[in-house]
Amino acid sequence: MDVRSFCAQSRVLVVAGKGGVGKTTMAAALARMAADAGLSVLVVELEGRTGVSAAFGHATALAYDATILSAAGATVVEDGADPPAGAVPPGTVHARMITPDDALLEYLADHGMKRISKRLVSSGIIDVVAGAIPGIRDILVLGKIKQLERERVADLIIVDAPATGHAMTFLTSASGLLAAARGGPVRAQAADVVELLTDPSRCQVVLVTLPEEMPVNEAVEAAYRLEDEVGVALGPIIVNGIDEPPGQVGLRAAGAAARAGVAVDATTEAALDAAWAFRHGRVSLQAEQAARLATELPLPQLRAPFVFSATIGPAELEALATSLARGIAAIPQHEPVAP
Ligand SMILES: Nc1ncnc2c1ncn2[C@@H]1O[C@H](COP(=O)(O)OP(=O)(O)OP(=O)(O)O)[C@@H](O)[C@H]1O
Ligand SMILES: [Mg+2]
């Protein structure tokens, strides 16, 4: 399947998974991949982290208004440049952070309550409301995402979801509210959100995991819960942090040293051999876990390599995006992604 057809399957991709598995990095890599294929992309960040900006070579945190992370044909443009009125242009990546407070302010302003809205938020009333209506914060954020999806601000909206525990609450709160609220704007908003989440042509969840025993177990469990409790379609699963086989990185001591014309003593050779064996062991363990994941979760897998770099910047991001694109190319065109 080519990247454009893959991205055309649904307009919102929610990148989810356990804490620290690489959700933010993979959200950025998917964005890079889609923009490289000529699509317009909006990345939505929910927490005030800087990972997405940093991966695109920016130092600033995201704001409620969209920031251009990457312009068409170039890797990086200046921070804070105004997006062209309305939509994100093709081949570019914009990003914004959506918080419940900002989403509420905008909702109130859009509904003729601009003057009181600032005062309500600054007086902390949102916390009172949030205490009274569980899930309202999530609905405000998801409601805003739904609005952006309806307005078709970008070909693809990529949401960097919170870590699994919170992500389940985040994604189930709409159906919870729908069941609890009798009527009014909250119910209407919740109904719209449920509609978005349960329509595979509008929204899919891309789970990220690591090729290790516990993360694989948790990914399998999360996948079934997402399908059962949220009713959301699952896209391919990303297995992140895969080590390259040591043979390809020339770690094998004696041969590599000989080829490089370096004389190594016995201790060094033993240490290098041990490193090779360790790496080799890791690679086979990872392969085993990825294979187990494939049996327990019948979803196409996209694999992202472990990048040996202190930070993930534009160059590393491009490499990760290329790996994801390779994985997508291997998905048969007609096989439905959702099981
Ligand atoms: N493929 C990779 N190769 C090397 N380092 C990686 C890779 N993917 C992620 N990382 C690094 O691992 C760390 C965690 O990644 P990231 O922030 O994307 O995870 P996360 O799932 O978003 O975490 P959180 O749950 O805290 O939001 C970061 O330092 C990131 O740079
Ligand atoms: Mg993150």
Residue keyed to tokens 């699963």: 237
Residue keyed to tokens 């889609």: 34
Task: Summarize the confidence of residues 18-39 as an average pLDDT.
Answer: 96
Measured in Å, residue 129 CA sits from the centre of ligand 2 at 27
pLDDT of residue 75: 41
- What's the count of helices (H) and strands (E) in the chain, helices before strands? 14, 9
Residue 336 lies in a domain: no
pLDDT of residue 176: 84
Ligand 1: residue whose CA is nearest its atom 9: 22
Least confident residue range of 11-20, 117-126, 199-208, 229-238:
117-126
Distance of alpha carbon 201 from its chain centroid, rounded?
Answer: 18
Sign of the torsion formed by the C-alpha atoms of 11, 32, 41 and 310: positive
Question: DSSP string of 279-316?
Answer: HHHHHHHHHHHHHHHHHHS-S-EEEEEPP-SSS--HHH
> And the tokens for 194?
């449920």
Task: Summarize the confidence of residues 218-231 as an average pLDDT.
Answer: 94
Q: pLDDT tens digit string along 133-172?
A: 778 888 989 999 999 999 999 999 999 998 877 888 888 8
Question: DSSP string of 55-110?
Answer: HTT--SPP-SS-EEEE-TTSS---TTPPPPSSSPPTT-EEEEE--HHHHHHHHHHH
Measured in Å, residue 29 CA sits from the centre of ligand 1 at 11
Does ligand 1 come within 6 angstroms of the Cβ of 23? yes
pLDDT of residue 254: 63
Residue 30 lies in a domain: yes
CB 29 within 8 A of CB 240: no
Does ligand 1 come within 6 angstroms of the Cβ of 215? no
Task: Summarize the confidence of residues 51-66 as an average pLDDT.
Answer: 88
CB 5 within 8 A of CB 119: no
Looking at the CA of residue 49, tell me the nearest atom of ligand 1. 27
Does ligand 1 come within 6 angstroms of the Cβ of 211? no
pLDDT of residue 76: 41
Q: pLDDT tens digit string along 311-334?
A: 999 999 999 999 999 999 999 876
Percentage, residues of the chain above pLDDT 90: 53
Ligand 1: residue whose CA is nearest its atom 25: 19
* Of 45, 38, 60, residue with least CA distance to 15: 45
pLDDT of residue 66: 83
Task: Summarize the confidence of residues 21-36 as an average pLDDT.
Answer: 97
Q: DSSP character for 230?
A: I
Measured in Å, residue 163 CA sits from the centre of ligand 2 at 7
Mean pLDDT of the chain: 86
Confidence check: pLDDT of 339 > 70:
no
Measured in Å, residue 311 CA sits from the centre of ligand 2 at 14
- Which residue among 21, 23, 25 is best mutated to probe the pocket of ligand 1, counting the most ligand atoms within 8 A of its Cβ? 25
What is the domain count for the chain?
A: 1
CATH of the domain at 302: 3.40.50.300
pLDDT of residue 182: 79
Looking at the CA of residue 51, tell me the nearest atom of ligand 1. 17
If pLDDT is split at 50, 70 and 90, which confidence band does 78 have? very low
**What domain range is 282 assigned to?**
3-329
